[in-house]
Structure 1
Amino acid sequence: MKEKGLTGFQLKIIGLLLMIFDHISEFFSFTGAIPLAFKWVGRIVAPIFIFMTIEGYIHTRSKKKYMLRLFAASTLMNIGNYLIPNYFQRTDSFGLMNNIFATLFMITVYLCIIDFIAKGIKEKSIIRIFIGVLLFLLPIALSILFITNIENLLYLILVIPSPLFVEGGPIFVGIGIILYLLRGDKKKQLIAYIAICVAFIFTGEISIHGLFIDNYQWMMIFATPLLYLYNGKKGKGMKYLFYVFYPAHIYIFYIISCYVMSK
């Protein structure tokens, strides 16, 4: 009997397909031939992978291995982002900064800290709670400490992702934390998520131009039906598909854009 709803694998495939449109817009918008709608559909992608990272963290057999895998992917992509522009250069000021792995890893770090604090609360351990709060603030404090020295900051980001400077910044990390805290209650999860998306509307000019041209991040809201349809099943395997496809298509698009721009 066919399962109702969408499996995790199906959600990821949808995310990967929509990601292609988003990155075509990112790397080739200079041509003037890419519809803005490519960016609109791209707003759906990050929430899908944030949601699935939380599911992965909850259900993985080894949280340590899961986090190390994301950290390794983040580090390798940071190295790629640094090296590839040395061999393929665009004629504009475009910087190769894509690395959602760093964001997802940072989210799992905070989920681990939340679990640590929750255990302290359950055990009524003031010391454990205090240590947990310090750990929660530590990544932010390190970012602020290094922000005055750009060389140290770049080194920090290259080696250790920062919640302030990862792709999507504190907003994406915050979404991950909120969805995790509300795990087990999809209704509350989605209501909170919708509220965050709606809040983006008020960060810019509330007009047709403002909502659809200048400030369209609120369109993350259209990920809601997909998250609602998630049936809790893993689906097919291929857990390394995302780890390979994401950097591969980023670098292919970037290299092609270099050649297109040079002509």
Structure 2
Amino acid sequence: MDLFWIKIIGIITMFIDHYHYVIGGNQILNVIGRIAFPIFAFSLNEGYFHTSNLKKYLVRLFTFAVIIQIPAILFNLYYPVNIFFTLFFGLLAVSIVNLKNKFKIPVYAFILLKIFLIFFIFYVTKKFDFDYGIYGILLILVFNIFRNNKLFLLLAFFLLNLAVIIFPNVFGLFKIQFFSIFSLIFIFFYNGKRGKSLKYFFYLFYPIHFLILEGINFFLKKL
């Protein structure tokens, strides 16, 4: 399965999840929706490894994050800070973890600097209530660190979701997040190929699908 079809599964399950969030419905919709974010976290890492310009990638994510957040601020919509901010800071965290010591800083000082920057990212995501917050950043790092080891990836994913159950106040998520582990069924079938390139479609789908759902919700309330 190439990355294009994995992303398609991601946006379909995201739509289902947000349908439950905006309109309501059976809890199974929320369970299915747990598959979406890990797919985007995985796709982000594939983008990191294959991009020819990391700075442009970061700028693109940040720009979309800001643009998408503006309507929520203007119309006082009750949405968390959008997922593109989480992806941006997640990619930033990945960049920090993989940063080379070009300035010949003492090794221990360089490691401590990396740890400080990562924890600062955790602080920002928690402080401003990013969608998926600390969990989202950690999951993105898990996909990066264990990219080439499916067994360790599965174990790390399991332990992270277990931590959500044990420390719900830290992560700000519900126990239902554990179902996100089923996303690995699709991710493990990844064949390493990019597939069709519809880059901006995946970016634009995020705000557009919220407009569609809010429109459906408005129409249903008028009935």
2:191 is equivalent to residue 228 of structure 1: no
Partner residue, 2:171: none
Cα distance in 2 for partners of 1:68, 1:228 equals 29
Alignment of 1:243-254 (within 5 A): 243-254=203-214
2:32 is equivalent to residue 41 of structure 1: yes
1:110 matched to 2:93? The reply is yes
- Matched with 1:125 is 106
Q: Mark the structure with the bigger radius of gyration.
A: 1
Encode CA deviations 1:184-210: one digit per residue, 9 max, x unaligned.
Answer: 222211221133234445568xxxxxx
Q: Secondary structure at the match of 1:232?
A: coil
Which of the numbers 2, 5, 16 marks the counterpart of 1:10? 5
Distance 2:220 2:2 in 1: 38
Report how many residues are paired: 216
What secondary structure does 1:229 align onto?
coil
Which amino acid in the other structure matches residue 150 of structure 2? K
Alpha-carbon distance between aligned partners in 1 of 2:162 and 2:10, rounded to the nearest angstrom = 21
Percent of counterpart pairs with the same letter? 30
| Correspondence list, 1:31-110, <5 A | 34-83=25-74, 85=75, 95-97=78-80, 99-110=82-93
2:96 aligned with 1:136 = no
The Cα of 1:23 is off from its aligned counterpart by 1.2
What does residue 241 of structure 1 align with?
A: 201
CA deviation profile, 1:146-194 (whole Å, cap 9, x unmatched): xxxxxxxxxxxxxxxx355210010111111122112222221122113
| Mapped pair 1:28 → 2:23 | yes
The equivalent residue for 1:177 is 141
Decide whether aligned partners of structure 1 residues 255 and 237 sit closer, same or farther in structure 2, where only a CA change above 3 A counts.
same
Structure-1 separation of matches of 2:119 and 2:164: 25
Q: What displacement does 1:131 show? A: 3.7
User: Normalising to structure 2: TM-score of the pair?
Assistant: 0.86
Residue 112 of structure 1 and its aligned partner are, at CA, apart by 1.0
Where does the alignment leave 5 or more consecutive residues of structure 1 unmatched? 1-5, 87-93, 144-161, 205-213
Q: 1 CA distance for matches of 2:105 and 2:47? A: 28
Residue 35 to residue 130, structure 1, CA distance change in 2 (3 Å): closer
- Change in CA separation of 1:219 and 1:200 when aligned onto 2, cut-off 3 Å: same
Residue pairs, 1:137-216, within 5 angstroms = 137-140=119-122, 143=124, 162=125, 164=127, 165-202=129-166, 215-216=175-176
- Structure 2: distance between partners of 1:200 and 1:131: 27
Structure 2: how far apart are the matches of 1:75 and 1:176?
Answer: 20
2:146, 2:126 → 1: CA distance?
Answer: 21
Distance 1:192 1:240, change over 3 A: same
Q: 2 CA distance for matches of 1:254 and 1:96? A: 12
